[in-house]
Structure 1
C-alpha cells in the first residue's frame, strides 16, 4: 500500500438489487466523517469477512463525500468473492477497504465513446456522470446478456436525457453483440474510446481500432484476466526457467522455480506481501524493481510504464535477466 493510499473501516449501510445477479453496496466510514475523494474510473480494494480481497469500481456520485457505492456481479465460475458478497448478510457489518486507486482515469479529449460489457458498466457510469457535469461530448454503447441482467439502466436514461447523449443498450439475447466495427467507425474525430468488460470484448475493440481508426486512443479496464495472444501468452503466467529474486529490504535471495510465479515464491518468505487477482489486472501486487530486467504480462501498466522497467506485477511478471531485485 502506498503512503498516499488510505486504509479504513467502513460500515455497509444498504444493499440493493440493481439487476439479475448484480447487487450494490453503499459504504460509509464506520466512525463517521467524509471518505477520500475519487475520480471516475477509480476502484477500492475490499477485504471481505472471509479475508478474501476483491476490487470493485466506484459507481456512485462523487458529490456524496460521506459514502461510496460499489456493485458486484455474482460470478458462477468465480473464486468465491462475489458469492460471499451475495450470500452474506453484510448490511450493518464492518469491512476494511483500501484506496481509492485509479488505473483508468479520464484523459482530455474532444469527445468520448464509452463501451461497456456486463458489469463493466460500473466505471462507465461514473465517467458518464462526470462528462455530463463537464458538458462534454459523449456517447455510450452498453451490451449485456439480457435486459434483466443489465444494471443501472434508469441512471443511464436520466444521464442521456440530461446530456442529450446517445446511449445504445444492446441485450445480446435480443439484438446480438455490440457492433464494435460500427462503433469505432462512427467515433468522432479526436475521440477517446473507453472500454470496460470481458477480455474478449476488449480484445475485439482494440483490434477494431487498430484496423479501422488507428489514430484514436483506446483506454480499457478488464474485469477478468487477459485472453491468450498469438504466442499463447496469457495471465496467470508460470516461468519456463528458474531465476533468482533478491528482496532488497533483507538481502534474501529467493529462487523462483520453473512452473512457479514470483508472487508464489516471495509469499513463502514474505507472507504479508499484498496481492489479490493473481492474474495481472488489479494492480495490488505492483512492486518497485530496483535491479534486473522485468518481463511484463499484466494489463495494468501502460506501454511507457512497462518500458521504464521500474515497477511490475509480480503475480504474472517474469524477468529476462538471471536476477531480479525487488523493493520488498
Structure 2
C-alpha cells in the first residue's frame, strides 16, 4: 500500500481526494487540514507521497513544502490552479523540491474531479516512487536536526557517464538540440540550460509536458536564470544559436522550414498521442527536414516513454542521443525507455548533461 498524506484546507476537496484514492485500492490515506498539521503527521504517519494545496491559511503550501524537504524529504505533488499566479507558485514549488503538480478542477469541483481522477491517481502513484535527492539541502537538514552539532556533509559519490556510441567527430555547421522531459522537468531544465553559455552554437528546442498556462511562466523563469535567451513558442519562430525555445503547453511543437531557415511552430496536439507537447512528434518533424548528424536528442526525467521511439530512430540513423541516468532522474520512465531500446548514445547524470553537450562541439 502507498501511504498518502492529503493536505488541503477545503473539507470538500479532502473528502473527494480521499474517495478517489481509497477507490483506487492501493492507497492508505491520511489527511491534514493545514500545513502545521501536515508537518505533525509527516513524522507520525511517514507518508510515501504527499498531495499539497498551495493556498492555505497560517502556513501556505510553499512554506509547508520547504519544511517537508528539511524535516523528512519525500515526494510531494502540488495541487495548483491553472492561472498565471498558480503557474509561478507551482514552478517555485518544483524548485523547492516538489516532483509534480495536479490541476485543481475549475468550476464545480465535485462535478469535474471525476474527469481528472484517473490522471490524478496515476500521477500520485508514479510520484510515490520518484527519486528524491538526499543530497539536496543536506547541510540545512543537518543543521535543523543537530542544531549545529558539527555534523559534516558526506562527500558526494561520483556518478559516471556512459558513452555508448557518441559521434566520432566534433559537431559543426547548423543543427538543433531537441530536449524532452516531463515529471520533474522544470528543475532539470534549470540544471541543463543554466550551465550552457550564451554563445552555445545550436538552438535548443524543448518539449516539456505542461498545460498551456504554465509554459509561458516556465520560459520567462528560465530566461531570468540562464545565459541563453529563452522564449515560449507561440507562433512560427526562426531558430537561432544561443537561444532555447519552450513548446507551448496543450499543443505540439514542430520543426518547419521557412525561406530556407529552420523554425519552430506550435501545432494543434495530435489526439492519437497522450502527452503534449509530444517529444516523439518534435523529433520526427526535425528528422524530416535535417540530417541526423545535425541533430542531438536529450531525454530527461518523466513518466512514460514519450520520445524514446523517435530518439531511438535518430540514433540508428546516425544522430546523437543523451539519456539522463537513473541516478538523478526524478522518474526514470522516458530516459529509461530510451536506454532499454538501445537508443542512447550517452547516458549521463543531470549535472553532466550540459558538459556532455558542450563537449560534442570540441571533439
Structure number having the greater strand percentage: 1
Q: TM-score, normalised by structure 1?
A: 0.31
Structure number having the greater helix percentage: 2
Q: TM-score, normalised by structure 2?
A: 0.29
